[in-house]
Homo-oligomer: A and B are copies of this chain.
Amino acid sequence: MKDYQAYLIDLDGTVYAGSKRYPAAKRFVERLQAVGTAFKFVTNNTTKLPVDVVANLADNHDIYVTTDNVYTAGLATADFLDQRAGDGDRTVYVVGEIGLRQALMAKGFTVDEEHPRYVVVGLDSDVTYEKFAKAILAIRSGSTFIGTNSDSNIPKARGLMPGAGALVDLVRYATQTSPIFVGKPEPIILQNSLAQLGVAPQDALMVGDNYQTDILAGIHAGVDTLLAYTGVSTPEQVAQETIQPTYTVSSLDHWDLEVGPRE
């Protein structure tokens, strides 16, 4: 096994399941901290601020990290647009919540509801027909269409609720325009987080429970992958895939930081 310099780690399904604690994941994070290996939680969440992700981990899962350990698709979208906009037009119309909005504002983007340079669509539990209409009219008038991530659903206590990808897909259907996606399984979010860590893709490991998002993101970014069978994906499903994860474990307790999988 390689001596990985950085771990990129999914959250829901990997470190916890909603409010349910994963003690093996807590031990895994503490082992990384004990040896001083860099890590970031890389999540498709765009509704929360990094400080809220940190608070949730501390308050509900007894896991203690800093905001430097958190990279959301909201932050990744803002960083992506920051690079893309350069010295140019930084107007944006946003369908999304505070995690996305604040990340964009922090990069100097300002809202233009009628003639924005970019339209960014993410999860928004206050979405309305009017918000969709503004996004669609702008994209049809030439604004660049960005989707934070393509997740079809988000798991909640009530069941599988509409995900960011569903909102994006409404806009895609009504504009007949495909968006640029930033979140997993696209490589952008991983590339950005590795750039912040100063670690090359071949020296990092992406850890997650979902083949279709976490593992594919690693594959697309040229990052080795560790699939933990603690959430969405099952061994039967993954057996059907052409490209296999680099490693698989049934529990993060079975991942030895110096040796690899022990099962």
Binding site for B on A (CB under 8 A): 124-130, 132-133, 136-137, 140-141, 152-153, 158-163, 165-167, 169-174, 176
Contacts and interface: CB of A to CB of B under 8 A. Distances in A.
Across the A-B interface, the 5 shortest Cβ-Cβ residue pairs: A166-B174, A170-B170, A169-B173, A162-B174, A166-B173
A176 B152 CA distance: 8
A172 to B, nearest CB: 8
Interface-central residue, A137, A141, A161, A170, by most chain B CB under 10 Å = A170
A237 to B, nearest CB: 14
Contacts of A158: 133, 137
Contacts of A129: 124-127, 162
13 contacts: A126-B128, A126-B129, A136-B166, A137-B160, A137-B161, A152-B173, A152-B174, A160-B174, A161-B174, A165-B173, A166-B173, A169-B169, A169-B170
A170 B160 contact: no
Nearest to A125: B129
A171 B152 CA distance: 10
Nearest to A167: B170
Contacts of A165: 173-174
Nearest to A166: B174
Nearest to A128: B128
Contacts of A133: 158, 161-162
A71 to B, nearest CB: 25
Contact of A136 (B132, B141, B160, B173): B160
A161 B162 CA distance: 21
A171 B162 CA distance: 8
Contacts of A127: 128-129
Contacts of A125: 129-130
Nearest to A160: B140
Nearest to A138: B159
